[in-house]
A and B are shown apart, each in its own frame.
Chain A
């Protein structure tokens, strides 16, 4: 495995990836020396170690060396909690408008007693929180930790790390302890590890070859022994298996037994989704924003403020297994299950076991182990995700084909676990950068104009206090913060060419939007972003532009309309088909009348229900499409509206001869972070905040969760 050499400035902060300059030494010590070494360690720094509590084991601050246990089966909670705590302060604030990064702890600590599967999990999470927008909170905690692993002495009742290739790790820790009879072998893998190794004293002896061979025997025993459950296929084959299983009846059957309690996620060492909540102090001015570990099993996980529920119980149940076995492999290159068995321990309904589910699917789809991916029939889901992740080159082969499927025998011989560790590690940022680039801290913006557009929608023009332009592109969104209330994703509605300010339109559907409505010009809000993908306006030059908007869907596309009108000569005809429930829901009425007068612009409007004065049509927005005079080969369609609208509009556009690549949709999902971490906005394996919100229809038509 090739790892990048760290920049010199990183070495002190974070030596995790560093192997050069480390002794790689293995010494042999007596069992009793571990206790005295732990005492020395305790005198020097904070030690978090495995200890017994009520007949189970936990990671907790170690106060005396005697409490250390290295013979534990599995800890109740994963060590991830020391890097992503169950509850963690993200932002502190003081109204009006001071947002600050909370103190990122500075106290180094040793995490002692990690089993290999947990080391593999930490390694995965390192990658998750480093890739894309780095997460300063995770990285800070992680950089302060020294990882001391120990090989498993007592298998837990549900461990299947052997089946996942994580029973033994040769990488990812600073120090590794392996019990050999009444002695321990202690191996250093990093400079940090060398430091801990030195605490055994100068007279510590190198482990003799015979003992190294006995350690090999321990590893062999664990690779074969940590299999209380057997996975009937190599883990590398899971993506292929899942591609063939999306519509299996198993999901419905088993989800009927799922309590949606979230236990499986909350004890998982590779589940990292989080919720964000504000708490305001009694002075009503200061407060803090927290993130809390969340679960994709919970009923409201994918429910948006408007009330639409994007995943029902069956879909939520399925999502977890797909995330572990397909979506994470697609995005990060590893199967995100390390076989610790904690989910099995914690599920009182007995439906959380990944091996149970995967084996049951294998019984139903044995062909996935033998047939080439092309024969699996349901490869489209994987292709769609891969294409969106910018890996079109692999499209031909399909995702499952990328991994060499090994037989079980060859895997047992393999030194390194194949699928659990990231292939290449993204480095952790140095401290000063972590502090300077905190993506969770909003900028302050002032409301320079605000007026109601309808009964429930309000228009705002905002200016960033820093004076910098927002720098958005048409179709992108921002996270709008009201301290003490919360944060909500809101589409930017104005022309990117407007440099000094930007505009949003907010429908009153939730707490943040209701509180926004009570603000007045001169008040401030927090802004993060712009985030997400945009309509590719430059690429659309020369084409006719057809905008299909339903209800508040006119808001994000308005920026594109303004951009087209500003560069009128660059585009062909502009046709706007706008549907709304009733005339009083019409947004930007005055502006629409101005659009109408521009050359080459047609605006068609319709209402669902007619009450009162109305000059347009009556019926759903699709009734306007025949009148749009679509020139299929020459038109780009920008479509935005309520979830129910897409299916009908898209099928009509395709029927009119348009190509899926020329149809752009803007999709709404629940969002908490905006930077691809919190997990809420996922459509199958795709993040709406990263790969969206603007997609082509070609990109999402094979994602079953996109346009249901």
Chain B
């Protein structure tokens, strides 16, 4: 194939009308550890698996607060994500300064998508190698879950997952998402954890060290649930036992 002719610059179309550099950037999202997101009619929850490079290193941060009403989970190049998060925080602050109210999440995510897109159409910059799950709550429109891609595409989901081995989480979520609208906070968090269990590498386990959850919603400012705060939920997961293993079984078949 002539593939290699068309796949080194973002600004070159392949004969099939594809942008291979952009597609490759999308691959970097799949290299990142898994993130899941889901929402009810009042809350949005994101969860992620944190990695550590070795036992002496800390776990890499996966979920970041953007504003009181918004946070992101990231899969892909962490440094790219940090610069995007910084930009998003800035946009939220500016909006709050000008309008006195929190930034509508849909508009921020659309702007974010446009920011991604611009890198795919000019020679000078590479696409961002990161996918974000944005969980947000707007006073006017309720909870939201968005997914952004390096291509500049943006999707709004009831539930979804990105990153390595995220297919098993997606399968779990697809099986249960229709019950989410009525779910309470804790139920959503449990769903997030259950869907994450299938994404753990090899014979590893979901622990308070590598797990990370965040929630935002009605009368609920964005909070991160990690380490000891996570223990109670993990305990519940262990008690469920059988159910969780069922989830794992699914994952093995992927």
- Answer yes or no: are A and B bound together in one complex: no
User: What is the interface of chain A, defined by CB distance below 8 A to chain B?
Assistant: none
